[in-house]
Chain A
């Protein structure tokens, strides 16, 4: 079980308090009707799914209820940092692999 630091509650809590929210830093096309099918498919379905650093969303469902972002290494499962959604990712973070 992971220990995850909620950047809003500013405490480390067990994974059971959180819900995983998938890949982070995705931008929804402003007007879906205007993008190509390929671009929409890429937004909707494809994933980086990297082996290594991964930017991902978590939600503190059994706490403050808020979404935030985390940088986790998917090989060691080590969470390098967590940050509020309106903050920027840590400077040395490569954004989630190729």
Chain B
């Protein structure tokens, strides 16, 4: 692997940048692997990387039906934070946050993790109570989060309208300073590059069409559009399509797929120093390094695989943003797109074994899994390698729907991303 460094950059500059090599090998499927990861999004690629780097496995493939990072990884609004309410979620997302902090160095690839701060707005007394509760819970868990008055929030993000006579007045906010954004594509590419260098086969344009099982029901292999692959261990990391692939092994999951959409505006000069989210009006916004305002809207009302959101859903978000940030009223939107998110009843992910021997699940990240990419890969790799859930992900097993031990972030937060 060609390492990135200042010297390397200098050397390539003198050669008109013609000496750069492809960042990962374009592999073709071999007949058999020890582990096959289905789904080449950030979570799948991170899993493969940690399997190779921390657990010494080498005979690993990641099979992706399209191009890597072309699913929700490449479609999300890249908000990174760990200010969840329950201890189980705090441990999971904070584990990931710690990995973000050193990820560019670990991968020798700039993932542009930018801890610019995530401001969560309260518009009424209930919001304020819920958000303060999060602040207290986070501080008890050693996670940074602080409460701010409207004036302090405006100091931090000057384009906020904090006047009282607006539709969504701001009565306070929480700020997680270590929260922020990262570059979505770079996360997929960085993990792919590092995994490939350790021998992982990254196989694009390879859709899994069937899961083969032996007489005992255990996993035996996969059928794909690029031929059959034998394996005894499959990590299913296919986000919005998990129900579809799990059905190939006769498995039904507590999960529904919804379109979730995002938009970007035309690029403008820097106006937003942080991420601002409002859960009660379901709008959030940040500014990319290119200058576009990156805006996330809500999910559609009904399940769908159509990969585009309804216009009235985006409209609702834009209406709200024009209230919160009067300065954006005349901006034009450049693009909008949708992804299919895998939503569980308690809005927490499902990580661990499935009832099918050899089939492991890492899904249900729904509207908010980008922030968890490094941690999810790290802990899922452990789970796959040791055949046993890592303690941090143990509460997120599929079995919680039978025992009733849900991690109910849906009612705790009523938040999306």
Task: List A residues at the B interface (Cβ < 8 Å).
Answer: 1-2, 15-16, 19-20, 22, 37-38, 41-42, 44-51, 54, 56, 72, 74-77, 97-98
Q: Is the CB of B303 within 8 A of A37?
A: no
Residue contact B345 to A45, C-beta cutoff 8 Å: yes
Contact status of A75 and B253, CB under 8 A, knowing A1-B311, A38-B402, A45-B345: no
Q: Are A51 and B241 in contact (CB under 8 A)?
A: yes
Can you sample 24 A-B contacts with CB below 8 Å? A1-B310, A2-B302, A15-B310, A20-B302, A41-B254, A42-B252, A46-B254, A47-B243, A47-B253, A49-B243, A49-B255, A49-B256, A50-B243, A50-B244, A50-B247, A51-B243, A51-B305, A54-B303, A74-B304, A74-B305, A75-B304, A75-B306, A77-B306, A97-B247
Query: Are B301 and A20 in touch, CB under 8 angstroms?
Result: yes
A42, A49, A50 — most chain B CB neighbours (10 Å): A49
Q: A47-B252, A56-B302 are in contact. Are A16 and B257 (CB under 8 A)?
A: no
- Shortest C-beta distance, A23 to chain B (Å), equals 8
CB < 8 Å neighbour of A49 from B257, B301, B401: B257
Give chain A nearest CB distance to B247 CB in angstroms.
5
Inside 8 A of A75's CB, which chain B residues have their CB? 304-306
User: A14: nearest residue on chain B (CB-CB)?
Assistant: B312
For B254, the chain A residues whose CB sits under 8 A away are 41, 45-47
Residues of B within 8 A of A38 (CB): 402
B residues sitting closer than 8 Å to A (CB atoms) are 241, 243-244, 247, 252-257, 301-306, 310-312, 345, 401-402
**CA of A1 to CA of B227, assembled, Å:** 40
Min distance, Cβ B349 to any Cβ of chain A, angstroms: 15
A42 contacts which chain B residues (CB < 8 A)?
A: 252
Residues of B with C-beta under 8 A to A1 = 310-312
- A22: chain B residues at CB < 8 Å are 256
Shortest CB-to-CB span from A68 to chain B, Å, is 14
B345→A77 contact, CB < 8 A? no
Chain A residues with Cβ below 8 Å from B304 are: 74-75, 77
Across the interface, name the chain A residue whose C-beta is closest to B308.
Answer: A77
- Measured between beta carbons, the chain A residues less than 8 angstroms from B312 are 1, 15-16
- Across-interface contacts of A15 in B (CB, < 8 A): 301, 310, 312
Q: Whose C-beta in chain B lies nearest to the C-beta of A46? A: B252
Give bound CA distance, A65 to B243, whole Å. 31
Cβ contact within 8 Å between B303 and A45: no
Residues of B within 8 A of A2 (CB): 302, 310
Inter-chain contacts of A74 with B (CB < 8 A): 257, 303-306
Name the B residues within 8 Å of A20 (CB-CB): 301-302
Bound-state CA distance A16–B310 (Å) is 11
What is the CB-to-nearest-CB distance from B290 to chain A, in angstroms, rounded to a whole number? 31
Contacts of A50 in B (CB 8 A): 243-244, 247
Closest A-B pairs by Cβ, 3 of them = A45-B254, A49-B243, A20-B302
Specify which chain B residues have a CB less than 8 angstroms from the CB of A37 in the assembled complex: 402
Quick one: closest B residue to A19, CB to CB?
Answer: B301
- Complex Cα distance A42/B254, Å? 8
Q: Report the bound CA distance from A42 to B306 in whole Å.
A: 26
Q: Which residues of B contact A54 (CB under 8 A)?
A: 303
CA distance A38 to B305 in the complex (A): 28
Kindly list 5 other residue pairs between chains A and B, CB separation below 8 angstroms, not including A15-B312, A54-B303, A77-B304.
Answer: A1-B311, A47-B253, A49-B257, A50-B247, A74-B306
Which of B247, B252, B302 has most A Cβ within 10 Å?
A: B302
Kindly provide the distance from the CB of A44 to the nearest chain B CB, expressed in whole angstroms. Answer: 8
| Residue contact A98 to B247, C-beta cutoff 8 Å | yes
A11 → B minimal CB distance (Å): 20
Inter-subunit contact A47/B301 (CB<8 Å): no
Bound CA–CA A42/B257 (angstroms): 17
Residue in A46, A51, A77 whose CB lies within 8 Å of B244: A51
**Chain A residues closer than 8 Å to B306, beta-carbon distance:** 74-77
Q: B297 to nearest A CB, angstroms?
A: 14
A97 to B397, CA, bound (A): 26
Query: Which one of A47, A51, A76, A97 contacts B255 once the chains associate, using CB atoms below 8 Å?
Result: A47
- How far is it, in angstroms, between the C-alpha of A45 and the C-alpha of B408 when the chains are bound? 14
CB of B255 to closest CB in A, whole Å:
6
Contact, CB under 8 Å: A41 / B311: no
Residues B253 and A46 in contact, CB atoms below 8 Å apart: yes
For the complex, give the distance between the alpha carbons of A78 and B311 in Å. Answer: 16
* Bound form: Cα–Cα A77–B304 in Å: 7
CB-based nearest A residue for B243: A49
User: Which chain A residue has the least Cβ–Cβ distance from B312?
Assistant: A1
- The chain A residue sitting closest to B250, CB to CB, is A98
CA distance A44 to B303 in the complex (A): 17
Report if A48-B252 is in contact (Cβ < 8 Å); known contacts: A15-B310, A20-B302, A77-B306.
Answer: yes
